[in-house]
Structure 1
Amino acid sequence: METQQVTLRKMAPAEYHAAIEHREAEAARVLSTFMPEELARDRVRRGTAKFLPDGPDTAGHHLVMAENGSGEVVGNAWIGPDPGQASGTADSAWLYDINVFEPFRRRGYGSAILAAAEKLAAREGKTALALDVVGSNEAAIAMYRHGGYEVSSMSMRKDL
């Protein structure tokens, strides 16, 4: 597979709204396997409001579009402070979301966006980039492992 390169740029307002709508729908879909759908949608919306109180202008958060060398928008990402570390003391950034648009999937763009997100965090003095991934998302897990990510904690569940 060819090694892709991307450039990150700030989302325009319409891109931000589309990205948040997509992220919330996907997160609610995953959560609705564990709780009623309406509760899942509400929980996801509250999370967005909590972490992005000023939308795309929330301090410390980067909501970015990824463009390939031809200028095509291939995906997006949301990078911000690690929610598990105290404000102002965090040496770790958090990848809240990464998305490769359908026509560009399975072509190396996920890894390219991830690498660009890592560079963005490093430029801000962060020494690590952490994230959560759904356990059933084998393609994403493989991409993260290939990129050098390791499991740092794990939650498990069994429906009774």
Structure 2
Amino acid sequence: MTEVRLDPMTSEEYETYHRAAVLAYAEGHVSAKSWPAEGARQRAIDEYAELLPEGVATPGHHLYTARNGDRAIGMIWFAERPHGAYLYDIRVDADLRGQKYGEALMRAMEHEVRAAGLKAVRLQVFGNNSVARSLYRKLGYLETNVVMAKNLD
């Protein structure tokens, strides 16, 4: 069994995460064709600033560094919402993907969600992210709505 421990993310870890996350978020939206490339990075910066104005100290947000032993292997971020928890981000280091860390990380997050007194988890995933969608389905997550688009250019 792949072991994962969740430690509260430090401010230093957050700074490293934030730099990479903003870029990946913008690129994800551009790749999924939900945002135009022009202005995508600034839009991502703005959304993160709105969601996490106090970084790791933002009330109601839980950011964790995932570890296997002493090695940091990824991160996960969820927030408390009226419906339960909303999963904003999950990352497993590229060299560890395909080794069940994503599944272990999700299960560890679900434990933290329960410990916070929340009864459900919601998330959004880009339609072209088949690996993540497969993981979520395997863990029992159901699609509740699907947004579709067609570029007419």
Tell me the TM-score normalised to structure 2 length. Answer: 0.92
- For the 8 Å contact 1:60–1:80, the answer to whether it is kept is yes
Q: Number of aligned pairs?
A: 150
- One-letter amino acid of the counterpart of residue 19, structure 2: E
- One-letter amino acid of the counterpart of residue 48, structure 1: Y
Gaps of 5+ in 2: none
Deviations 1:32-82 (A, max 9, x none): 2343324211211111111111111001111110011x3211110111123
Give yes or no for the alignment of 1:153 onto 2:145. Answer: yes
What is the CA RMSD across the aligned residues, in angstroms? 1.3
- One-letter amino acid of the counterpart of residue 112, structure 1: A
Which residue of structure 2 aligns with residue 71 of structure 1? Answer: 70
* 1:124 corresponds to which of 91, 116, 121: 116
- For the 8 Å contact 1:52–1:58, the answer to whether it is kept is yes
Give yes or no for the alignment of 1:61 onto 2:53. Answer: no
How do 1:39-58 residues align onto structure 2 when only pairs under 5 Å count?
39-58=39-58
Distance 2:80 2:43 in 1: 20
Distance 1:157 1:73 in 2: 37
- For the 8 Å contact 2:11–2:55, the answer to whether it is kept is no
Which runs of at least 4 in structure 1 moved beyond 4 Å after TM superposition? none
Gaps of 5+ in 1: 83-89
Tell me the TM-score normalised to structure 1 length. Answer: 0.88
Which SS does the other structure have where 1:126 is aligned?
coil
Displacement after TM superposition at 1:131 (Å): 0.5
Displacement after TM superposition at 1:135 (Å): 0.7
- One-letter amino acid of the counterpart of residue 108, structure 1: K
- For the 8 Å contact 1:93–1:128, the answer to whether it is kept is yes
- Identity, % of aligned positions: 33
Distance 1:154 1:93 in 2: 20
Displacement after TM superposition at 1:22 (Å): 1.6
* 1:8 corresponds to which of 6, 24, 27: 6
Displacement after TM superposition at 1:31 (Å): 1.9
Displacement after TM superposition at 1:4 (Å): 1.2
Distance 1:158 1:36 in 2: 14
